[in-house]
Amino acid sequence: MRKRVGRTNHRKFKFKEVFSSGRVSDDDGGWIYLGEGVEPAKGPARNRAKRGTLVIRSLAILCLCVTLPLGAKWSYDNVFYENEEFVLRRLNIQTDGVLSESRLSEIANVAAGMNLMELDLDAVRSQIEKLPQVEKASVTRELPDRINLIVRERIPVAWLSSPPLGIRPWDMERGYLLDSEGVLFRCLDLNDGMKSLPVVESFKITEPVEGGRIDSEGVRSGLKLIIKSDQRFLEQGLSISEVRVRDEWAVEAVYQNRLLVTFGIFDYSRGIEDLALILKKAEGSGQQLATVNVAAIKNIPVTFAGPVEVIDAGGASVGPAGEASTTNDAAFSSGKEQEKHLRSILNGG
């Protein structure tokens, strides 16, 4: 603003009096406000007040961020960790195999009186699954005082035998059981069921490690052959008692009726179907098979147990041909119908 001086503005006000109907004072005093109607700028005190409010709010939020988690943790500790109700009193163990509850409890390192909330369930499960006999374990917490431990053990399919390495079947110290995937584990209970399992024999394997997987393709193929054969023939009372890994291409399966069948390692599924057809046809002829080589796709070699009567070209019997005769080209039994039957088998059906 500036001071109004009368003399300086004298002419302007004289001129204004001519056109103005109002009264104009020619006082020399008074003030003229420049920019009248505009709010004057706020002072620094207000800015300081704003900054102070912002600081207070920030500190309040920071305090909440710190105190709320601490309060929640304190409440959680008092409710769960320091609460005597959440103390382990019952350990429920379920297993489908031979592992005892005391053994599993010892391995899990869990005992009554421990705080239920302090137990590391993943660590307990990991400890149990380190046992070679265990395939999978599940550990759950059941408030207020219970832990459930469910164990699924490996199902043995066969015994491993390797004479060069001193691995013998039905031996709890030197023997190994094999599951369907070829995982090795010791026998903990040599009961009748374990003694009745078939044996897979191999002379060329590396030293096995308990809990590891057998590295022999022939042994793994023999295990799958046992499972597949049982699915196909067990209802007929025909099961494998032993599998011998002959070489890298073939395995020999000895059935409980002493039938010896040679299978291809990589083609045992087709071999089982061919064997089913041959068994059906042999049963119809009244003859008992001794050996079958289904590693061959056609012209399958077959021998029969007991004396076989050979027929000449005219259809007359010429006598027995021996205890077990090969039947690649020979006719057998007493009649042209049976001869035709055999040739059909040998030529792939």
Kindly state the helix (H) or strand (E) to which residue 152 belongs, with its residue range. strand 146-153
Q: How many DSSP H helices and E strands does the chain contain?
A: 8, 16
pLDDT given at position 148: 93
Tens-digit pLDDT profile for residues 241-286: 999 998 889 999 999 999 999 999 999 999 999 999 999 988 888 8
- d(CA 277, CA 346) in angstroms, rounded, equals 11
Mean pLDDT along residues 16-41: 50
**CA torsion through residues 52, 58, 61, 62, sign:** negative
| Mean pLDDT, the chain, whole residue set | 78
Per-residue pLDDT tens over the stretch 181-225: 999 999 999 999 999 999 999 999 999 999 999 999 999 999 999
Does residue 243 sit in helix, strand or coil? strand
Q: Say if residues 252 and 261 touch (Cβ distance below 8 Å).
A: yes
Closest CA to 277 of 216, 225, 349: 349
Enclosing H/E stretch for 254: strand 250-255
> What are the pLDDT digits (tens) for 112-132?
888 888 889 999 999 999 999
Is pLDDT at 136 greater than 70 in this prediction?
A: yes
At the topology level, CATH places domain 90-153 in: Ubiquitin-like (UB roll) (3.10.20)
- Rg, C-alpha atoms of the chain: 48
What does the pLDDT read at residue 235? 92
Instruction: Determine the topology of domain 154-259 in CATH.
Output: Rossmann fold (3.40.50)
Q: Are 87 and 113 in contact (CB under 8 A)?
A: yes
Residue whose entry in the numeric block shows the structure tokens 């006082």: 27
pLDDT for the residue numbered 15: 47
Q: How confident is the model at residue 78 (pLDDT cuts 50, 70, 90)?
A: very low
Report the percent of the chain where pLDDT is more than 70.
67
Q: How far apart are CA 187 and CA 189, in angstroms?
A: 6
Tokens of 90: 């019952």
Other C-beta atoms closer than 10 Å to the C-beta of 6 total: 13
Q: Could you tell me if 223 and 211 are in contact, meaning their C-beta atoms sit under 8 angstroms apart?
A: no
2, β-bridge pairs: 32
Q: What is the pLDDT of residue 323?
A: 42
Check whether 82 has a pLDDT greater than 80: no
Average pLDDT over residues 169-179: 95
Please tell me whether the overall predicted TM-score, pTM, comes out greater than 0.75 for this model. Answer: no
* Bridge partners for 260 per DSSP: 254, 291
Confidence of residue 41 (pLDDT cuts 50, 70, 90): low
- Least confident interval from 189-193, 230-234, 297-301: 297-301
Sign, CA dihedral 41-42-43-47, equals negative
Please report, for the chain, the start and end positions of each structural domain, with discontinuous segments joined by +: 90-153, 154-259, 267-349
Highest mean pLDDT among 13-22, 34-43, 61-70, 164-173: 164-173
Residue 278 · residue 302 · CB < 8 Å: yes
**What's residue 42's pLDDT?**
54
The one-letter amino acid code at 297 reads I
